[in-house]
Amino acid sequence: MRVISYNLRKHRAATELTGLVTEHDPDILCLQECDTAALPDAIEGLSLVHTTSGNRLGLAMYLRSNTFQVEEVRTIGLKKSLHDRVLKPAHERVLGARLRDIDAGRGLIVASFHAAPLTALNSLRRNQIRSALDALQELGPGMPVLMVGDYNYPVFKESLGQTVREHGYTLTLSDDRTYTRYRVFKGHYDFATSVGFDISKITTLPQATSDHRPILVTAEAA
């Protein structure tokens, strides 16, 4: 299974999606900071599964409908930061789907995630990640879970990794930094947390319009 995650930087990178899908042939595409009303119903063979609706710039997911059957979709609101309460940029920070692999006949859960911005504390983002993983597990108890997206967590990943491990999950970074626009903020922002998946690699794709670089996750349900 090949999954691309991409923060579109307030939808500016939306014009790249056709080329991105054509070149890298993902099975699933998870987006953050997209103008959900402006998204097409399909991108080069990928069908739109669902988008968030509580905010204009939100989350979306596409997949190959001849590979996966969608059984249930859920959008999830998480604990708000001060930035969220004052500016109200996002209520729903997780878009999760329980899928059925048509050929293998087994279920799995995939989610697009966007954590609170850097103005929030790391402790709040850790709370959001724990809550998101708990909520996704409710979609299908015991099923493999893969959550990809913009975690806004460039430093102190040791504590985040410990938090994720205590929840029974694995944190996997990509092979290069995903945010490079401002020197002081450079780092791995976009990565994956998972349980029940063997992740063989996460490749950081070239930078284009967005201030984030897309990541390509290659994984298999264990």
Give CA–CA dist 222/54, Å, rounded.
34
Nearest alpha-carbon partner for 104 in 187, 207, 1: 1
Q: What angle do CA 126, 27, 214 make, to 5 degrees?
A: 50
Tokens of 215: 């990541």
- The pLDDT value recorded for residue 181 is 75
3-state SS track over the chain: CEEEEEECCCCHHHHHHHHHHHHHCCCEEEEEEEEHHHCCCEECCEEEEEECCCCCEEEEEEECCCCEEEEEEEEEECCCCHHHHHHCCCCEEEEEEEEEECCCCEEEEEEEEECCCCCCCHHHHHHHHHHHHHHHHHHCCCCCEEEEEECCCCCCHHHHHHHHHHCCCEEECCCCCCECCCHHHCECCEEEEEECEEEEEEEECCCCCCCECCEEEEEEEC
- In which band, very low, low, confident or very high, does the pLDDT at 218 lie, cut at 50, 70 and 90? very high
The pTM assigned to this predicted structure is: 0.93
- The pLDDT value recorded for residue 121 is 84
Looking at domain 2-221, its CATH architecture is 4-Layer Sandwich (3.60)
Tokens of 196: 């029940």
- pLDDT per position as a tens digit, 105-148: 999 999 999 998 888 788 889 999 999 999 999 999 999 999 99
- In which band, very low, low, confident or very high, does the pLDDT at 19 lie, cut at 50, 70 and 90? very high
**Mean pLDDT, the chain, as a whole number?**
91
- pLDDT per position as a tens digit, 160-190: 888 899 999 999 999 999 998 766 578 899 9
- pLDDT per position as a tens digit, 43-83: 999 999 999 987 778 999 999 999 999 999 999 988 775 55
- In which band, very low, low, confident or very high, does the pLDDT at 104 lie, cut at 50, 70 and 90? very high
Buried-exposed string 153-170: b where 16+ CB fall within 10 A, e elsewhere: bbeebeebbebbeeeebb
Q: How would you class 62 by CB atoms within 10 Å of its CB: exposed for 0-12, middle for 13-18, buried for 19 or more?
A: buried
Average pLDDT (25-40) is 96
